[in-house]
Amino acid sequence: MTVDDAYRILRFIVRKNQLGSLSPQDFQDAFNTAQRNYYDFLIGRIEQYQYGSSKPRVGLGMTDNIISRLMPFYNEVNLPVFSGTVYKPSDLNKIYSIFTSNMYRVYRLEENRLSERIQDSIDPIDEANAFYVEGLATLKIYPTTLTTVNMTYFTSPYDVKWNYTLDGSGRPVYSSTGSVQPSWLVNDFDEIIARAAKLIGVSLKEPIDIQYGEQVIAKGE
Amino acid sequence: MIVTTQNMIDRTRRTYYANYPSDDSTLTDNEILLHINDAVAAVITKQATEGYQLTGIMSVPEGYISTFTFTSLIKDNDTGFYYTTIPHPPIGLSGNSGVESVFFSGFSGTSRPVLYVSPREVDYFRFMPSHPMAAYYWIEGTTLYFFSRTNLPSTYKLQLRMATHVTSDLNAPINVPPDAIDLVYKLTLEKLVQRKGLAGDDIVDSRDK
């Protein structure tokens, strides 16, 4: 499904409810916000966490269905380690896994357990027991003797762009050249469009669109 | 399939997590190995005690026995005792039954057994008449001491045959009789299930405990 398809469907919903036109910029703003919202929903909403249970209602790793839906944003890289420091990929949003070249997992450790872990007498700090501590732009990797690690991660959705040229009457006509297409799988579009419709409904103070969006978010399309 | 210690670790982890463990699983091989070692020691004691109740003889099933060789035999010049460090204290069965035998090698064969003397009696026993070729040993923790009437040639090695609950090779067949493996496995899991039930302050999302 192209960005033009998404725009067309959203215009259809807006027109149906007598809300007037939807400009390309408004569509892009609504769709991009909606897809970030949906992406966050698939990764896992932290507001659904409860004390002692860091599990959202829907979240990454919960089912293979969710992971499949996030696959358009999946990436894998081999990263050099500089004296125990790895620079995060610039497009990283969520780390999925890190492993060494010999296929040992590198597990996540929080800063407040680091000293205890380093002093631990049961597990040596070696490749088979490698771990990392996350920082803003870097990861601290232990053991510091590792020279490379492999990382799989998810990027954020790229902002879509509905590019256009003006016809003789000054009306925008879709141009695939210069447009940025959404990356989602086909079955996710309706979820995103519903969220976009809700945003437009909020913008226009139109309760029917808001209601439609909320229904889809709660129960699916 | 011959069961190795690594098999036992992997099998325990797979049962504990009801699948292959995920990358954020916190249970490590070494932690499981400690529990397996404890379980093997407990099962050795159980089987030896049960055997004793049936036969009146305290002995350890052969499946647990290993022979260790020691080349570094140091003489304490103050006491005249030789000593060496052994991998772990013997299993605490009564009558020194955790140790099967001690003897020397390093001269195209083996010596007669080095005789056991209780640590409580060694200071008295040392001054008792004995055969000039006889040697006597006792163990304190992980140190095996022995003395003999004659000086020990430097080429001599000490061999210690005893029940052991540890291994240095995780990929070697586990030193447990096949009929006792299930008991070791159950004891290990029993300890780990308690661990799983403990509340923890973990902030990693959906961490597999």
* Residue ranges of domains in chain A: 3-50+162-219, 75-155
The pLDDT tens digits for A40-79 are 989 887 777 777 666 777 777 677 888 899 999 999 999 9
The C-alpha atoms of residue B187 and residue B195 are separated, in whole angstroms, by 13
Closest CA to A12 of A3, A22, A2, A24: A22
Contact A128 B202 (CB under 8 A): no
Q: Which residues of B touch A (CB under 8 A)?
A: 22-26, 28-31, 34, 199, 202-207
Q: What is the pLDDT of residue A171?
A: 85
Question: Which of A141-145, A209-213, B181-185 bottoms out in mean pLDDT, i.e. has the lowest?
Answer: A209-213
Burial of A145-179, coded b for 16+ CB within 10 Å and e otherwise, reads ebeebebebbbebeebebebeeeeeeeeebeeeeb
Q: What is the mean pLDDT of residues A141-165?
A: 96
Contact B205 A59 (CB under 8 A): yes
* Interchain CB contact of A48 with B (< 8 Å): no
Burial of A188-208, coded b for 16+ CB within 10 Å and e otherwise, reads bbebbbbbbbbbbbeebebee
The pLDDT tens digits for B21-39 are 988 888 999 999 999 999 9
Residue B165 in tokens? 């609950």
> In chain A, what percentage of residues exceed pLDDT 90?
59
Does pLDDT of B208 surpass 80? no
Q: What is the pLDDT of residue A115?
A: 95
Q: What is the mean pLDDT of residues B46-68?
A: 93
Angle, helices A3-16/A189-203, rounded to nearest 10 degrees: 50
Q: Do the beta carbons of residue B69 and residue B159 sit within 8 Å?
A: yes
Query: How many Cβ pairs within 8 Å bridge chains A and B?
Result: 39
Calculate the CA B118 to chain-centre distance.
Answer: 19
User: Within a domain: residue B177?
Assistant: yes
Question: Using CA of residue A177, residue A178, residue A183, residue A188, what is the dihedral sign?
Answer: negative
Contact B23 A122 (CB under 8 A): no
Q: Do the beta carbons of residue A28 and residue A21 sit within 8 Å?
A: no
User: Within a domain: residue B206?
Assistant: no
Q: What is the pLDDT of residue A11?
A: 87
The pLDDT tens digits for A69-90 are 999 999 999 999 999 999 999 9
Residue B119 in tokens? 């640590």
Q: What does the mean pLDDT of chain B come to?
A: 90
Contacts 24+ apart (CB under 8 A), A163-166: A164/A24
Given pLDDT bands bounded at 50, 70 and 90, which one contains residue B2? confident
Q: What is the mean pLDDT of residues A176-192?
A: 92
Mutation pick from B9, B22, B206, B208 vs chain A, by most beta carbons of A within 10 Å, is B206
Q: What is the mean pLDDT of residues B52-65?
A: 92
Minimal Cβ distance to A107: which of B23, B34, B199: B23
Q: Which residue range forms the structural domain that includes residue B61?
A: 5-197
More confident residue, A101 or B95: A101
Nearest CA in chain A to B202: A52
Q: What does the mean pLDDT of chain A come to?
A: 88
User: Within a domain: residue B202?
Assistant: no
Minimal Cβ distance to B23: which of A105, A110, A122: A105
Q: What is the mean pLDDT of residues A183-201?
A: 88
User: Within a domain: residue B204?
Assistant: no
Question: Which residues of chain B does A142 touch, with a Cβ-Cβ cutoff of 8 Å?
Answer: none
The pLDDT tens digits for A9-28 are 988 887 766 656 788 999 99
- CB neighbours (10 Å) of residue A101? 12
Q: What is the pLDDT of residue A199?
A: 84
Region of residue A214 (phi > 0: left; psi between -120 and 50: alpha; otherwise: beta): alpha
* Interchain CB contact of A93 with B (< 8 Å): no
Q: What is the mean pLDDT of residues A196-215?
A: 73
Phi then psi for residue B104, to 5 deg, are -100, 155
Question: Which residues of chain A does B26 touch, with a Cβ-Cβ cutoff of 8 Å?
Answer: 107
Rounded to whole angstroms, what are the CA distances from B28 to A129, B8, B14, B31, B40? 8, 13, 12, 5, 19
The C-alpha atoms of residue A124 and residue B34 are separated, in whole angstroms, by 14
Given pLDDT bands bounded at 50, 70 and 90, which one contains residue B207? low
The pLDDT tens digits for B94-150 are 888 899 999 999 888 899 999 999 999 998 888 888 887 889 999 999 999 999 888
* DSSP assigned state of A139: E
Question: Which residues of chain A does B207 touch, with a Cβ-Cβ cutoff of 8 Å?
Answer: 54
Given pLDDT bands bounded at 50, 70 and 90, which one contains residue B203? low
Contact A54 B199 (CB under 8 A): no
Contact A54 B24 (CB under 8 A): no
User: Within a domain: residue B132?
Assistant: yes
Contact B23 A110 (CB under 8 A): no
Q: What is the pLDDT of residue A86?
A: 97
Question: Which residues of chain A does B206 touch, with a Cβ-Cβ cutoff of 8 Å?
Answer: 54-55, 59, 61-62
Question: How many angstroms separate the CA of residue A118 from the nearest CA in chain B?
Answer: 15
Q: What is the pLDDT of residue A152?
A: 96
Question: How many angstroms separate the CA of residue B33 from the nearest CA in chain A?
Answer: 10
User: Within a domain: residue B203?
Assistant: no
